[in-house]
Amino acid sequence: MDIEKLLELEDRIGVRFKNHDLLLQALTHRSYINENTHWHLDHNERLEFLGDAVLELVVTEYLYNTYPNPEGELTNWRAALVNSVMLAKVSAKFDLNDYILLSRGEARDTGRARQYILANAIEAVIGAIYLDQGYAATDGFIKKFVMTELHEVLESGSYKDYKSLFQEKAQDIAGVTPTYEVIKEWGPDHAKNFQIGVYLEKELIGEGSGPSKQDAQQAAAENALKNRGW
Catalytic amino acids?
A: 52, 123
Residues forming the annotated binding site? 48, 120, 123
Q: Give me the DSSP letters along 143-179.
A: HHHTGGGHHHHHHHTTT--HHHHHHHHIIIIIS---E
DSSP helix/strand/coil, 183: strand
Cα 45 from chain centroid (whole Å): 14
Distance of CA 11 to the CA centre of its chain: 23
Residue 31, classed as helix, strand or coil, is helix
> In what helix (H) or strand (E) does residue 189 lie, and over which residues does it extend?
none
Beta-strand pair 179-186/203-210: unpaired
Q: Select from 204, 187, 53 the least CA-distant residue to 109.
A: 187
Neighbouring C-beta atoms of residue 173, cutoff 10 Å: 11
Q: Round to whole Å and give the CA distance between 123 and 84.
A: 10
Residues annotated in a binding site for Mg(2+): 48, 120, 123
Tell me the pairing of strands 203-210 and 193-200.
antiparallel
Residue type at 201 in one-letter notation: E
Cβ-in-10-Å burial (0-12, 13-18, 19+) of 151 comes to exposed
